[in-house]
Amino acid sequence: MNTEGTQEAQAAPGTVVVIGGGQAAGWVVKTLRKEGFDGRLVTIADEIHLPYERPPLSKAVLAGDADIDTVRIVKPDEFADLNVETWQPDCATQIDRAARIVKTREGREVQYDRLVIATGGAARRLPASVAKTSHVTYLRTLDEAVALGERLRASRRVLVVGGGWIGLEVAATARKLGVEATVVEGAPRLCARSLPPLVSDFLLNLHRANGVDVRLNAALVSLEDHPEDASRVRATFADGSTLDADFAVAGVGLAPHTALAEAAGLAVADGIVVDEYGATEDPNVFACGDVANHPNAWLKRRVRLESWANAQNQAIAAGKAVLGVKAPYAEIPWFWSDQYDVNLQILGDLPADAELAVRGNLDEKRASLFFVELGHLRGVIAINAARDLKLARKWMSQGRAVDLSTLTDTSKALA
């Protein structure tokens, strides 16, 4: 067994149950076997597909350039070698922590020695008082991405509700497919919760330059079947204006699947509360991925992260901890998005009102924006500048002091 990290003396689990079938669940399973666990391993998931990555869903899968075979975490034959009992499609409905039993919708039960909850989340739904039509779709699963892609290719105009990451990536993919797209956002700028204004403005200009009709401060009142064509949709806004489209896609955030854990008496606060190893207050129960709220040593605060990197690396730490190998998860948060010809990466801690030092030229779509606090780099946004981000990660990990004038001087290479 790999002994990286601190090894705690404890009995090896005979049975490990993993609830969830996404990226985090997949990496827990891979890690357990890699670390030498040879006991019974059961996964419970409501999708029929084996674990896959979600970032391509709003991009390559939606565009028709990728499918399940290209987004799997483990190929089917390799997954078979992991010797996992996959209860799919099924759904865990109850955790009896006293008896250490998980019950499922299909009436099955399994007793565990260790349990990992990697249930992720669901796309938030628009209120029923607003969405009064069946022509509203959401994007969270592979099947939803495939169906949405087919519908896009058969449409002329799509309405995207929400100017966050999912909404913007859907709009970019729609334009790639030649579909007219309108993005409506209730806030005064795009990605207002996660980006400073300068980058919100950059994204706004990027989408408008690619033909997207972006409407900010747009208070959506209702989405209904079009009065003259029930196969289409009409949006009505608070100012009385209306907008017609073939259908709507709502990208209004993620609701973490915490109900199962909460019903079992586990602490929940914007996610299932875990420590730096992914352990809950119950020593036999762990959680990781989009559903877990963990103390991040670099951020120096608790956080629940929704990103590819977090789903993978927190799951690896949790998988090790299940076996008593304590390797704390303390990575610098990292996120990326591909839209049109732009690769945008975000690293670190960037308040929405952060003042940014700019290296490069935003108009040329090649720039790095640095957030410096007390002489140290706390965050960076790299736009088609992956090398700068790689260097920034190194400096941030080292806690290295930086000089603003050096960061912004494009006549000298960063080193």
Assigned domain for 415 exists: no
CB 139 within 8 A of CB 249: yes
In three-state form (DSSP H/G/I as H, E/B as E, the rest C), the secondary structure along 65-91 is CCCHHHHECCCHHHHHHCCCEEECCCC
Query: What would the pLDDT profile of 32-53 be if each residue is shown by its tens digit?
Result: 999 999 999 999 999 999 999 8
393 lies in a domain? yes
Among 228, 252, 276, the domain boundary falls at: 252
User: pTM score, two decimals?
Assistant: 0.92
* pLDDT tens per residue across span 208-258: 999 999 999 999 999 999 999 999 999 999 999 999 999 999 999 999 999
The CA radius of gyration of the chain, in Å to the nearest whole number, is 23
CATH of the domain at 231: 3.50.50.60
The answer to whether 234 and 227 are in contact (CB under 8 A) is yes
Residue 265: its pLDDT value, please? Answer: 98
On whether residue 200 sits in a domain, the answer given is yes
Q: For residues 49 and 71, give the distance between their C-alpha atoms in angstroms, rounded to a whole number.
A: 11
How many Å apart are CA 140 and CA 96, to the nearest integer? 29
126 neighbors 235 (Cβ within 8 angstroms)? no
Tokens of 219: 């208070």
Q: Write out the residue range of the structural domain in which residue 48 sits.
A: 6-122+255-326
According to DSSP, the residues that pair with 222 across neighbouring strands are 236
Res 67: pLDDT: 82
Burial of 93 from C-beta contacts in 10 A (0-12 / 13-18 / 19+): middle
Helix H, strand E, coil C: the string for 248-288 is EEECCCEEECCHHHHHCCCCECCCEECCCCCECCCCCEEEC
What is residue 127's DSSP assignment? P
Say how far apart CA 128 and CA 134 lie, in whole Å. 11
Domain presence at residue 172: yes
Q: Indicate whether 1 pLDDT > 90.
A: no
Same domain, yes or no: 145 and 110: no
Distance, in Å, from the CA atom of 351 to the CA atom of 228, rounded to the nearest integer, reads 46
- Of 231, 252, 273, the one marking the end of a domain is 252
CATH number of 387's domain: 3.30.390.30
Model confidence at 22: pLDDT above 60: yes
Rounded Cα–Cα distance for residues 306 and 290 (Å): 5
160 has a pLDDT exceeding 80? yes
| Count of structural domains within the chain | 3
Rounded Cα–Cα distance for residues 203 and 220 (Å)? 21
> Dihedral of CA 34/35/39/44: which sign?
negative
Mean pLDDT, to the nearest integer, of 354-378?
95
The residue among 209, 233, 252 that closes a domain is: 252
